[in-house]
A and B are shown apart, each in its own frame.
Chain A
Amino acid sequence: MAGKPKKGSTPTTDRKASPAATGVSIIGEESLVREYATSCAACGMEVTLLSSDNQSFAGKPPHGVRRTGKPPASTAIALELTNTSRPDKKENLRSLDALLPPSALILSSSVAVTLKTQSAWVRHPERLAGIAALPTFLEGRLVEVILPPRASADSLERLKKFFGALGKETAVVKDSPGMVMPRILTMIINEAWFALADETASATDIDTAMKLGTNYPHGPLAWGERIGLAHVHAVIEGLHRGFREERYCVAPLLRRAASAAHPE
């Protein structure tokens, strides 16, 4: 699933404009870790990849990126990038929270688990912010973020500065299952799987129709593969858990394809 970041994902921000050697520690799922590590390192940040019992970075780390077990003392920002396993996410957040000084900001992907739920797992929830992290989303110009309920005054500034250094705008949204874009997009992908399952059309025709009929940048089925079906599945499961509505049931065929692609 982890691939080379696509062309165009390399931020074009002037290196001089980025904060001098911001220490960034990253843990989570390999595809997301690779994208963030590559982008951060390309912007002159000092990047360290962390590992846990269940998650470690198997491939070759991007150029200029270190690999250790524990976050270095210089860590100003830590990223937790797990969507498909709640236990791993919980363990990672607890360990980051315990190891990092309270001044360090933790940015945690909140597309499959709400920030509120995650806040209950840590001792310092006021420094835990949510981000919409799905594979390929760093190709965009904007990142959605969620501020913690009792955020310190400079949290938003630090978030904006961090993503600004990566060449991204930020949009603050309310803490809600699936946030904004992941929710809309995964539900479109889910419907495409339902349509495929009831033989409305072939996979190719479904994707062609959505690209040409509505100008979507990618066909929904191919888009799901780009993101990774396990991540898509995790977002919709999170919506179902959050809303307890039949509307958010994962298409059975998508569920099957996701578990085949990600046997755990």
Chain B
Amino acid sequence: MTSTIGVIGSGTMGSGIAELAALAGFDVILNDISSDALRSAMLRIKAELQKSVEKGETTAIEATETLTHIRPRHAFNDLGAADVIIEAVAEDLPMKKDIFRRLDLIVAPGAILATNTSSLSVSDIAATTNTPDSVVGMHFFNPPTRMKLVEIVRGAQTSDETISKVRELALAMGKTPVFCRDTPGFIVNRVARLFYGEALRLLGEGVAEVPEIDRIVRESCGFRMGPFELMDLIGIDVNYAVTRSVYEQFSREPRFEPHPIQRRMVRAGTLGRKTKKGFYPYD
């Protein structure tokens, strides 16, 4: 049985996964190379838990308890005590490979090494370890505490036992797991590319303007958000990076081709809500 979960990277996803795991009653070791990042992650988790208390989703006692379950640790070797380690650093393949290479030296036999990559190859990452059968993809969605889905990604050498253990773990965290092969973008980031890609093409061809396309998508078929407001929320740079990654990994399959409008916006630094300007202004 899993009792201790190590989380590497204390950004939005890492701290969210740590909070989620602690809420589910696991002991969590939250690791980051930056002590400052760890400190602010703990503050962020505390604030999130406070919000849950205010909304009546968690009791004050549970929130305090949850916090004590998370140990922020700067030293990489401390992760050796974890049964399952979930890596959630930036989408940088060399960085992830390096982390897994080092994990291989410190973890206990039988430990599961999961990566929260959204579009990189799990098999590539696994190849840096001596136990590729225990390496798996566990792709959470933002914010991990609220989004129900986890994509469990089977690498070329992932064992059935590993898959079954992370399935149990996802269920224990209250998530709905789906299973996919190690293909570019897995399920969601692949199929959703067309939602953005076709919308950008429609805009580029002048078929309709940004607010009109968003309105049509929301009102005619029941999508909660239009493609442009969603890209502004996600970040045009983030969306563009995923598109490029999926496109390259699919050997430049035309369906995934990044659109020049998006590239221009990334270069201009109009990245959506976070820069107060994207497809819409935010003042």
Contact = CB atoms under 8 A, between A and B. Distances in A.
B235 to A, nearest CB: 16
Interface in A191-248: 191-192, 194-195, 198-202, 205-206, 208-210, 212-217, 220, 245-247
B206 interface: yes
A200 to B, nearest CB: 5
A21 interface: no
B246 to A, nearest CB: 11
A183 B198 contact: yes
A122 B9 CA distance: 64
B222 interface: yes
A158 B199 CA distance: 28
A180 interface: yes
B219 A173 contact: no
A97 to B, nearest CB: 26
Contacts, number: 143
A23 to B, nearest CB: 26
Say which size band chain B's interface belongs to: 35 or more
Interface stretch (B60-68, B176-184, B260-268): B176-184
A198 B180 CA distance: 11
Say which size band chain A's interface belongs to: 35 or more
Given A195-B190, A214-B192, A184 B149 contact: no
Contacts of A140: 219-222
A176 B215 contact: no
Contacts of A210: 187-188, 191-192
B76 interface: no
A143 to B, nearest CB: 7
Interface of A: 132, 137, 139-144, 169, 171, 173-174, 176, 179-181, 183-185, 187-188, 190-192, 194-195, 198-202, 205-206, 208-210, 212-217, 220, 245-247
Given A176-B202, A198-B181, A217-B221, 7 more contacts: A140-B219, A140-B220, A181-B216, A181-B217, A187-B255, A209-B180, A209-B188
List the 8 closest pairs (A to B, CB-CB), nearest first.
Answer: A142-B219, A212-B149, A205-B178, A213-B188, A217-B222, A209-B187, A201-B180, A140-B220
